[in-house]
Amino acid sequence: MKTSFESDYNNGAHPEVICHLLETNGKQSQSYGFDEWSEQARQKIRTACQCPDADIFFLVGGTQANATVIDGMLLSYEGVIAVQTGHINVHESGAVEASGHKVITLPSHGGKMAADDLEAWLKAFHADPTLEHMVIPGMVYITFPTELGSVYSAKEIEAILAVCRRYELKLFIDGARLGYGLASSECDFDLPWLAQHCDVFYIGGTKVGALCGEAVVFPRRNAPRHFMNIVKRHGALLAKSRLAGVQFDALFTNGLYFSIAKHAIDKAMQMRQIFADAGIPLRDSSTNQQFVELTDAQMKHILEDVLFETWEPLDDHRTLCRFVTSWATTDRDLKALKEALKAFR
């Protein structure tokens, strides 16, 4: 079987997660979010975030989390501001528009939003005499880390948050790969800091060791009223909520969530070295997603032994390709990659 770096969701759950599902399986529990493991997991996440009052909801996946949070926090006529490359603008099949909200786009700087762009746009918006004919912005959406593997600095997030406060916009951080961002060597803040610098965020489980599940966190008991109904209305409420609760209980026991992320980052950095050694151009990324420029010949050769995703064509002969690590990446996987690259050194 070929080694795969295609994604961080083509393996099963981390062993400790799957074992916890097994060991708790025999017990009866309440449903719809009221099971004991969900409650336990919520407590552990509150502790990890240093947010004793946080409202926490476990949703099944990322699209749901994005669509539900955005719809839940916006008024019907409000839109959400994101960068062009933002997941909600590109890869959610219109789930945000499905509940009536426009995604307003700003330029992407390597996947990141610039506070200056945001402020400039808002200034122009409020100066526009036709404001009554436009979509009112209600929220700013950023991803941490971004879809391109980049991470915001504390200063950059502070700047965005300051603009949000000035213009009364909510700040939502999509943390589908949150662990990998926090584990990046470039990241100059921690989870509690992040929780203090936004209105809502989620802790991605699916891509960080769980089978499914995202923990939506409203850090200051600031969940919208009737948020459970909003979740249900979006089809995002599990009858057997234990499924998500048990997994997050495992992920937030003994720092598993963070050690999974650290492992993946370590492997990603080793992978960078392997590519560099082979003379293959790499984009900057300190997280678990690595983007390299491959010629057609290189792609063909590597694919004989190692799987990865093509990201976008660069020109007629070269393609940007994505290699992703996860909890499941082993030294053997990296060795297979090294082997496959031998020819190019």
Residues 36 to 65 in contact with its own copies, rule: CB under 8 A: 60-64
Q: Tell me the DSSP string of 115-158.
A: HHHHHHHHHHHHH-TTGGGSPEEEEEEEESS-TTS----HHHHH
Contacting residue, 120, 134, 297, 343, with its own copies by CB under 8 A = 134
Beta bridge partners of 217: 56, 201
Residue with tokens 């370590």: 266
> The dihedral of CA 245, 266, 85, 167: what is its sign?
positive
Query: Tell me, what DSSP letter sits at residue 309?
Result: E
Q: Which stretch binds its own copies (CB under 8 A): 26-34, 47-55, 257-265, 293-301?
A: 26-34
Of 52 and 235, CB closest to its own copies = 235
Q: Is 208 in the site for its own copies (CB under 8 A)?
A: no
Of 40 and 105, CB closest to its own copies = 105
Of 269 and 307, CB closest to its own copies = 307
Q: Is 192 in the site for its own copies (CB under 8 A)?
A: no
Q: Is 32 in the site for its own copies (CB under 8 A)?
A: yes
CB atoms closer than 10 angstroms to residue 289: 26
Q: Is 301 in the site for its own copies (CB under 8 A)?
A: no
Q: Is 233 in the site for its own copies (CB under 8 A)?
A: yes
Contacting residue, 54, 148, 164, 230, with its own copies by CB under 8 A = 230
Beta bridge partners of 289: 324
Q: Which stretch binds its own copies (CB under 8 A): 5-13, 45-53, 194-202, 272-280?
A: 5-13
Q: Is 299 in the site for its own copies (CB under 8 A)?
A: no
Of 298 and 326, CB closest to its own copies = 326
Beta bridge partners of 80: 103, 139
Q: Which stretch binds its own copies (CB under 8 A): 150-158, 183-191, 239-247, 249-257?
A: 239-247
Beta strands in the chain (DSSP E): 3-4, 55-59, 78-83, 103-106, 136-143, 170-174, 200-204, 214-218, 289-295, 306-307, 309-313, 318-324
Of 11 and 270, CB closest to its own copies = 11
Of 10 and 47, CB closest to its own copies = 10
Q: Which residues, 305 to 334, sit near its own copies by CB under 8 A? A: 309-310, 313, 328
Q: Using alpha carbons, select from 144, 84, 137 the residue that is nearest to residue 109.
A: 84
Cβ-Cβ contacts under 8 Å for 240 (sequence gap 6 or more)? 31
Q: Is 242 in the site for its own copies (CB under 8 A)?
A: yes
**In sequence order, which ranges of 234-330 are alpha helices (DSSP H)?**
242-251, 256-277, 296-303
Q: Using alpha carbons, select from 62, 65, 74, 144 the residue that is nearest to residue 102.
A: 74
Q: Are residues 306 and 337 in contact, defined by beta-carbon separation less than 8 angstroms? A: yes
Q: Which residues, 89 to 108, sit near its own copies by CB under 8 A? A: 90-95, 97-103, 105
Of 48 and 85, CB closest to its own copies = 85
Amino acid identity at 157: I
Q: Is 24 in the site for its own copies (CB under 8 A)?
A: yes
Counting residues that bind its own copies (by CB under 8 A) gives 80
Of 170 and 197, CB closest to its own copies = 170
Q: Is 232 in the site for its own copies (CB under 8 A)?
A: yes
